[in-house]
Amino acid sequence: MMWKEGQNSCISLGVILGVVLLTGLMRVTFRRRVFSTVTRTFVAELLATFQLCCCSHELQVLVELGPSNPSWPLTIIYFLSLVHGLTLVGAVSNPCGVLEQLALEQMPVGMSILKILAQMLGAWFSRTFMLWIWKMGISKWHYPERALKCTNPIHIALPEAFLVEMFCSFIFHSTMMHFQEIRLKFRIHLQAALITFLVFAGGSLTGAVFNPVLALSLHFQCFQNLFYNYFIVYCLGPSLDLQEEKSILLWDTEAIHCH
């Protein structure tokens, strides 16, 4: 029994590794063959979101397969966040991050729309790809019904769930804003640790997704069944922290000027 569970875990880890390698290969190929900056940006954002969503889908399988020790999923999340931090440099993979840059006037409107469109397509392609992988039945935990059923991640009242996602998004983006001056090799560890902490704090309440396109990819069936609830929690919640982040940045800037 232990051997079979270990074998299934290795298969899921292999799927995640395969997705990362496939995405990396496609990224390098497009970078060499495409010279348009706009097209490069679109493809990079699409592939980054595709990788993030595919790995998150398979992460759910790994969590079910893993031991009952609560440190198991957190360890996997930490190392997976490190992988994303190393391989997806320059991509946002989150509409809230794009809207944040737009609100701070760090990105033009046209580029913002382009990136969000690429993220939505990446999230959609990830569902299609993972459904194809699960239909192959490589592992007994791989079956197409996984993508076709709604596993409700919201375990608290709607207003509380809204606040959890909003505060998770606020803490993540405002903290990362202050990490920008830190060298990349240290920043990715801090980012991975922050994501792991937020999942630990809010994962049992709402899943601590704080990313609308990731939530759409993971819980598409739930969006269909309870659209307004999920839209409020996973789309409005993470997006409404942008004004607070802008205020913090302006306050920091004024403080610097005063000194």
Q: How far apart are the first and last CA of the chain?
A: 64
Residue 224: pLDDT over 80? no
pLDDT tier for residue 68 given thresholds of 50, 70 and 90: low
Contact present, 213 and 53 (Cβ < 8 Å): yes
Give which of 225, 208, 214 is closest to 156, Cα–Cα: 208
Whether the full predicted model's pTM is greater than 0.85, yes or no, is yes
Six token digits for residue 38? 């706009």
Which segments of the chain does DSSP mark as H helices, in order?
2-33, 37-65, 71-87, 95-103, 109-135, 145-148, 158-178, 184-202, 212-218, 220-225, 227-231, 237-239, 242-258
What is the C-alpha to C-alpha distance for residues 137 and 102, in angstroms, rounded to an integer? 43
Angle in degrees, 0-180, between the axes of helices 158-178 and 242-258, rounded to the nearest 10: 30
Q: What is the pLDDT of residues 159-212, one digit of tens each?
A: 999 999 999 998 998 888 888 788 888 889 999 999 999 999 988 899 889 999
pLDDT of residue 257: 44
pLDDT of residue 77: 92
Residue 245: pLDDT over 60? no
Six token digits for residue 76? 């996997």
The DSSP code for 141 is T
What is the C-alpha to C-alpha distance for residues 177 and 251, in angstroms, rounded to an integer? 13
pLDDT tier for residue 67 given thresholds of 50, 70 and 90: low
What is the C-alpha to C-alpha distance for residues 215 and 55, in angstroms, rounded to an integer? 13
pLDDT tier for residue 53 given thresholds of 50, 70 and 90: very high
The DSSP code for 234 is I
Six token digits for residue 73? 């999923």
State the residue for tokens 């939505």.
Answer: 120
pLDDT tier for residue 112 given thresholds of 50, 70 and 90: very high
Instruction: Pick the more confident residue, 258 or 125.
Output: 125
What is the C-alpha to C-alpha distance for residues 191 and 95, in angstroms, rounded to an integer? 18
Domain ranges of the chain: 1-258
Entry field: residues in the chain: 259
Average pLDDT of span 26-43: 90
Looking at 2.60.40.420, 1.10.287.3510, 1.20.1080.10, 1.10.10.10, the CATH number of the domain 1-258 comes to 1.20.1080.10
Summary mean pLDDT of the chain: 85
pLDDT tier for residue 244 given thresholds of 50, 70 and 90: low
Average pLDDT of span 213-239: 88
pLDDT of residue 119: 96
Average pLDDT of span 46-55: 96
